[in-house]
Amino acid sequence: MPDDSRPKGALPAHPSGAASACARVVGGLSDEEVAVLARLRAVRVEAAAVRAELDGVVGEGAESAGRRVVLTARLGELRDVWRLLTAERDAARHRRMVLLGHEDDPAGEAPLPRPDR
């Protein structure tokens, strides 16, 4: 008996749950990836502002030298944050690929079954 609940011409959903996993990945990126990328952009903008301020520090006095030290330290902190966020982005990408069935989960969880092609 045909299922009349779906729109005409629509394909049936796979019962594995893969369809719901795909629904969370709109535009090619998951919500988690979008959030991490927004944080990466914010870090990049702040780093550019710090670099511009560092380039604007002139003079040889103790105040200028102290300001350079503070700004250079902030750039180092931003680099560390960037590395952490890059790792988060890669992990989010991997989780998306596992959800979509393109990669296996090394944690031992079985991937979602793939629909027959």
Contact indicator for 21, 99 with CB cutoff of 8 Å: yes
Residue 110 near residue 86, CB atoms below 8 Å: no
Domain presence at residue 41: yes
* Segment 73-112, tens digit of pLDDT: 999 999 999 999 999 999 999 888 888 888 887 766 555 5
**pTM recorded for the entire structure:** 0.66
Q: Considering the domain boundaries, does residue 14 fall inside one?
A: no
- The domain total for the chain is 1
Whether 55 is in a domain gets the answer yes
**pLDDT tens column, 4-50:** 565 665 555 544 455 555 555 556 888 899 999 999 999 999 999 99
Residue ranges making up the domain that contains 94? 28-100
**First-last CA distance in the chain:** 22
